[in-house]
Each structure stands twice: as C-alpha cells, then as structure tokens.
C-alpha cells in the first residue's frame, strides 16, 4: 500500500535547516498557534494525509526527485562560493523550477485559492437577482484539491520562466549566530510599495514585488521584479538605511531602475536577519523551522500581530470585505 502521508515541503530541502543526530535529521519546529517549540524529525512535518491523490502525489514526488540531484549541485555551489555568478544556466533553471513548484504546492497556497474562490462566489451571489446569503455556497475539499493540483501542473513552468528571465536574483548571506528560518510555506512574498487603488501588489509582475526564499540556515535568495525605479522607492511604506543610501547614490542620476543599484549578494545585519525571519512568521501556515531553539523574534511579532497565529485567519483582502 502506498503511504498516505504526503509532504508539501520536501525532506531534502528541510535537511538544510536541520541537525543530523543519531541517523536522523531533526528540526526545531515552532507552532504559531501555541507559540511553543518542539523537536521533530523532517519525516514527520510539513505533510498531511492524502494532501494529493495517490497518483498525483506520485507524479509530484517524481517531479521533485528529478530536481533533487541538480538542486543539491546548485545549492552546493552557492554554499561553497556564496556567489550567484558561479551558477550556470542549468543551475538557475533548476532552482527556478524548484522554487516555482514549492511556491505553488503548499497548504497555504491551497487555503489562499479556496478563499479566493469563495470570495468570487460571494461577490457573484451578492450581485445576482437571487436572495443569496454570504458563504452559503462553499467549494468542496475534493474540488479545491483538484483545482490546486491543476494550478501546480499548469503554472510552475510559466512562473519558473518569469523567475529565470525577468527577475533580479540576489543572494543574502548570514554570518550571524541567528540562523535563517524556513517554514511550512517557505516562499515569502513581499512588496515595499503600497498597492494601487483596486489592485493588489503581490503578483510576480507587480512593480516592487519580491520573493524571499531561504536556501539554508546561512543563505537566502531574493527574486526581485525589475520595474521599480528610484522615484517609486521614495514612496515606499518604510525606508531603511540601505534604501536611503540607494536613493542618495541615485539622487544625481536620471530616474533609474532600483535593481541597477542592488548588488548580487549582501552580508546581512542582525536586523535584516530578524526581518527575513519575520517574513517566515507571516508567510507560514502554522509551523516555523530552525536549527536552534530560540524563537523570541516570533513570540514578539505574534504578540504584536496575533492574527497570524490562526490557521483560519483571513488571507485575501478585497474591496468587497463588507459583503
């Protein structure tokens, strides 16, 4: 009988954040809801019973296993050289495919898709001539699962192409005592710019969009949409010292793209490590993973923003929230 436990974050990826002891790869996991850490084998986390159908699970696992060897080659190059310039075209393509599939395959993405579908149904119901009651029609778990799986298979190649050909790659290096965290939804998305009226700003082609993906406890990759200019950066919701330096450097230059001023790699300060780990707090569904048992940063953030503790939190903000 095929195993029913199906991972949506692969074990070979989680090894980069684990400690190897007594022939086991062990993570320190942090449950956001209870705000408690615990030790766990990578075999037993970031999974769900029958998350995919059996045939689809086998296909997805084969797809990931086909990347595993090449992914580890590319990652080893980055770990040894700490330089994106050491990657060849195949290395970048493999990393892009891996990140694209990981971005699409998690439980968090399925929850987001379900919320989007139900929001659309509510909007259509409200605008119909029928006496519609909010949330009276909800997509079934089976239909949502099938829709999610179709999204993975039909979307990952296009996303990988965007990542490879249309985004700036930046490698962040952590030489501090605080490791990068990852989570059960490790592809954290972010935008410093405020969304335009009636539009979101967290799509790959949106000006200012960034995807932050931890590669290991020491390395993190940021993929950046190239369209933001210095004049846009001045309108960002907050500006840190690094950004101020960028603006100052560009002040005597005609309005240029911010990515032309961003280095291919950066050694991060403790404050930036905290920022990156907080992105994992926001991005994760329920669990954060680390090499060490210190989640004070997560405790502080969740105490300030308790909404992120709940699996049932609202994920999609629309102009129809008063339905």
pLDDT tens, residue order, the chain (323 aa): 455 778 889 898 999 999 999 999 999 999 999 999 999 999 999 888 778 765 665 676 677 677 778 888 898 899 899 999 999 999 999 999 999 999 999 999 999 999 888 878 777 766 665 666 666 567 888 889 989 989 998 999 999 999 999 999 999 999 999 999 999 999 999 998 887 766 778 889 899 999 999 999 999 999 999 998 887 877 777 666 666 676 666 666 667 888 888 899 999 999 999 999 999 999 999 999 999 999 999 999 999 999 999 988 888 765 544 44
Pick the closest to residue 179 from 16, 6, 5 (CA basis). 16
Contact yes or no for 191/201 (Cβ under 8 A): yes
Contact yes or no for 181/187 (Cβ under 8 A): no
Reported as type and span, the H/E element at residue 191 is: strand 188-191
For 44, phi then psi, to 5°, come to -120, 25
At 39 the pLDDT is 96
Taking the C-alpha atoms of residue 279 and residue 301, their distance in angstroms, rounded to an integer, is 10
For 116, phi then psi, to 5°, come to -65, -45
pTM of the entire predicted model: 0.89
* Domain spans, the chain: 5-309
Output the six-digit token pair for 21.
């002891």
Taking the C-alpha atoms of residue 73 and residue 237, their distance in angstroms, rounded to an integer, is 38
Taking the C-alpha atoms of residue 141 and residue 118, their distance in angstroms, rounded to an integer, is 12
Tally Cβ neighbours within 10 Å of residue 10.
21
For 233, phi then psi, to 5°, come to -60, -35
322 Cβ partners below 8 Å, 6+ apart? none
Output the six-digit token pair for 58.
């086998």
Reported as type and span, the H/E element at residue 113 is: helix 107-127
Task: Output Rg (C-alpha) for the chain, integer angstroms.
Answer: 20
At 51 the pLDDT is 83
Output the six-digit token pair for 241.
């010292």
Pick the closest to residue 45 from 29, 57, 33, 34 (CA basis). 29
Taking the C-alpha atoms of residue 228 and residue 259, their distance in angstroms, rounded to an integer, is 8
At 322 the pLDDT is 45
Taking the C-alpha atoms of residue 32 and residue 281, their distance in angstroms, rounded to an integer, is 8
Pick the closest to residue 64 from 20, 110, 108, 11 (CA basis). 11
Taking the C-alpha atoms of residue 55 and residue 177, their distance in angstroms, rounded to an integer, is 43
Contact yes or no for 122/320 (Cβ under 8 A): yes
Taking the C-alpha atoms of residue 105 and residue 226, their distance in angstroms, rounded to an integer, is 25
Residue with tokens 């961003």: 262
Kindly tell me the sign of the dihedral angle through the C-alpha atoms of 50, 52, 57, 63: negative
Taking the C-alpha atoms of residue 163 and residue 172, their distance in angstroms, rounded to an integer, is 17
């Amino acid at each position: 009988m095929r195993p029913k436990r199906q991972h949506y974050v692969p074990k070979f990826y989680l090894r980069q954040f684990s400690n190897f002891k007594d022939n086991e790869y062990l993570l320190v996991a942090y449950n956001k809801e209870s705000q408690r850490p615990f030790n766990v084998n990578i075999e037993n986390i970031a999974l769900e019973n029958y998350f995919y159908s059996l045939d689809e699970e086998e296909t997805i696992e084969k797809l990931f296993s086909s990347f595993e060897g090449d992914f580890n080659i590319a990652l080893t190059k980055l770990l040894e050289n700490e330089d994106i310039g050491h990657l060849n075209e195949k290395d970048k393509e493999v990393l892009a495919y891996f990140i694209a599939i990981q971005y699409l395959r998690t439980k968090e993405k399925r929850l987001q898709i379900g919320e989007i579908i139900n929001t659309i149904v509510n909007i259509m119901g409200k605008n119909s001539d029928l006496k519609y009651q909010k949330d009276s029609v909800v997509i079934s778990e089976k239909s949502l699962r099938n829709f999610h799986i179709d999204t993975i298979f039909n979307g990952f190649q296009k996303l990988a192409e965007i990542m490879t050909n249309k985004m700036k790659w930046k490698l962040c290096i952590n030489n501090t005592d605080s490791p990068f965290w990852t989570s059960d939804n490790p592809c954290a998305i972010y935008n410093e710019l405020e969304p335009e009226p009636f539009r979101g700003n967290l799509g790959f082609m949106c000006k200012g969009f960034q995807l932050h993906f931890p590669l290991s406890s020491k390395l993190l990759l940021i993929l950046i949409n190239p369209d933001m200019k210095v004049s846009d950066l001045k309108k960002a919701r907050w500006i840190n010292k690094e950004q101020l330096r960028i603006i100052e450097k560009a002040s005597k230059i005609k309005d240029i793209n911010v990515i032309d001023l961003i280095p291919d790699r950066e050694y991060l300060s403790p404050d930036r490590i905290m920022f990156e780990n907080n992105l994992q707090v926001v991005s994760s569904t329920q669990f954060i993973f680390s090499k060490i048992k210190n989640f004070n940063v997560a405790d502080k953030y969740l105490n300030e923003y308790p909404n992120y503790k709940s699996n049932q939190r609202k994920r999609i903000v629309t102009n129809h929230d008063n339905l």
